[in-house]
Homo-oligomer: A and B are copies of this chain.
Amino acid sequence: MIVDCAAYEGGKRREGSLSMERAGEVAGEGGAFVWLGVVEPSKEEFATIAQEFGLHELAVEDAVRAHQRPKIEEYGDTLLAVVKTARYVDPKEVIEVGEISIFVAPGFVISVRHGNADLGPVRARLERRPDLLAHGPVAVLYGIVDHVVDRYIEASHGFDEDVREVELQVFGEGHNPTERIYKLEREVLEFQAAAAPLAEALEELCSGNFAIVPEALHEYFRDVEDHLRRVTGRIENFRQLLDSALEANLTQVSMQQNEDMRKISAWVAIAAVPTMVAGIYGMNFEHMPELQWRFGYPLMLAIVITICLFLYWRFKRAGWL
């Protein structure tokens, strides 16, 4: 589905939208460039676009089937960038990964998105920055990548909060966070697989390898790369923290077990006293003088209770109760 198609000249949008045929013509004319936004196109739909703009067979296949690795590739004078979008859905604690393929050539930009990744705000923000758009179609690529990495930063904040919550669960009262830690680790790995390979692509973009990238944009891509590296550094830290949390949690479970065992044992010990004493005075020896004492029974009860209280106090002091 085509969502927007417009021509940009000298950093400004020409009024109105273009039909696809007209777009192809404008792309070939020079002086202006076309930005075509497509959402989850069918194979047939995209085949017409590919023919109109002369895209490479393999690049087309990659754009239609999602699930590519983030990358940047050159097919003739057309760049194909694939980036993964990531959104952290907090209540479910999952990372939702989408995908945007961007074709950049001297006369056009085609952005193909799959899954959650609204590019409307990017277009709006870029149209407010004619100085950037004046650098041509690569500026659109910059705008998209910058937007995506900003979403990564947001997602990493979401993780940060959940990791802190997990820590509270590990070291505070609360139910066993093992599953939560594991699930978070899974999501962190997925996030990392989405974000990390982009760094390599950005490095190529700001190193002057591609003739199509104007030098003035190098610093912009370097800036994005820098933000990305900050995110990937944090992701790496999350993984190490979750690893340690998993082990710390195991220790806490063992500690808990030990405390429970001590508590149980203390009560067993206290209960053993009356049982033992009662057993002794339940014996049937003929000559047990205590049994004939007038206050033998209350005395015995008193002694037993005293011992029990003493034990209780001792266990309390030793931290077993």
Contact = CB atoms under 8 A, between A and B. Distances in A.
B240 A189 contact: yes
A294 B286 CA distance: 8
A161 to B, nearest CB: 14
Interface in A47-62: 56, 58, 61-62
Contacts of A300: 283, 285
Contact-size category for A? 35 or more
Contacts of A260: 258, 261-262, 265
Given A189-B241, A219-B58, A286 B279 contact: no
Interface of A: 56, 58, 61-62, 67-69, 71, 73, 75, 167, 170-171, 176, 178-179, 181-182, 185-186, 189-190, 193, 197, 219-220, 222-223, 226, 229-230, 233-234, 237, 240-241, 243-258, 260-262, 264-265, 267-269, 271-272, 274-276, 278-288, 290-297, 300-301
Nearest to A177: B251
A134 to B, nearest CB: 14
Contacts of A171: 178-179, 182
A272 B274 CA distance: 11
Contacts of A67: 230
A247 to B, nearest CB: 5
